[in-house]
Amino acid sequence: MPIIRRLVIYRLMLALAAACAIAQGFQGQHPVTGRQIAGVMGVQGADWLNRPEREAEENPEGALDALNLKPGMVVADVGAGTGYMSLRLAKRVGPNGKVYANDLQPEMLRRLRANAEKAGITNIETVEGEEADPKLPRGRMDLVLLVDVYHEFSKPREMIDRIRESLKPDGRLVLLEYRKEDPSVPIREEHKMSVAEVKAELEPQGLVLSQVIETLPRQHILILTKAAAKAKAAGAGQ
């Protein structure tokens, strides 16, 4: 190959690498805590979402057991990927319930639909969202689940505002996040969250961290409710 052509190809490769690095770097920091916002996993990493080890590492069924899901509920899986949790949610809420499976990437949603069809599950609706809006219907959700997703939101305040609006008055927002407090959890630091960070970032947005469950091998289960609902419940108890 001529030297000039090799140089051109080399420079193109450098430019592409730089562009990828810039795209990751532009995730930025959360304005309240200064937490570094992690990059979003692309569809190239989809197989990792369905790795066999995930059962032991995350105990997904145990996580859902803790949420006390009921048949007929309307729930959302934000950042659903290929449907690892969406399919489990759909089975729990049953044919009279519904799952809104949200993702930014159309190919993830295509794979999710294929997985649901293969499993014979028909109560999932896929929703292609945006960085600042998950595109969920307002006031419909009994529960919105974010599994290792919140820390990747490039526009976290806008997303949480829209998610809060999608909740019913007594609806719950649930975050599963790798424990930053535990250095033995083998995950990059920017892909972990602490309980203190969740409180600091989400409570100013009209939510209350009402419960923290620590029954999973590596993740917090963080349950948030609307602040107005908690205030109403407190008033009723007086």
What pLDDT sits at residue 44? 83
In Å, how far are 9, 25, 51 from 16, measured between CA atoms? 11, 14, 29
Give the chain's length: 238
Q: What is the pLDDT of residue 229?
A: 65
Residue 237, pLDDT score: 61
Q: Is the dihedral of CA 207, 167, 142, 126 positive or negative?
A: negative
Give kind and range of the element (H or E) at residue 87.
helix 86-93
Q: What is the pLDDT of residue 12?
A: 34
**CA 74/CA 100 separation, integer angstroms:** 8
The model's pTM: 0.86
Question: 44-236: which CATH number, 3.90.190.20, 3.40.50.11540, 3.40.50.150, 3.90.550.10?
Answer: 3.40.50.150
Per-residue pLDDT at 10: 35
Q: Which long-range contacts (CB under 8 A, 24 or more apart) does 34-38 make?
A: 35/151, 35/190, 35/193, 35/197, 35/201, 36/189, 36/190, 37/151, 37/152, 37/153, 37/154, 37/156, 37/190, 38/151, 38/152, 38/188, 38/190, 38/191
The per-residue pLDDT for 70 is 98
Mean pLDDT per block of 10 residues along the chain (238 residues) reads 44 36 60 94 83 94 98 98 97 98 97 98 98 98 98 97 98 98 96 98 98 98 88 60
Strands 219-226 and 167-179: antiparallel
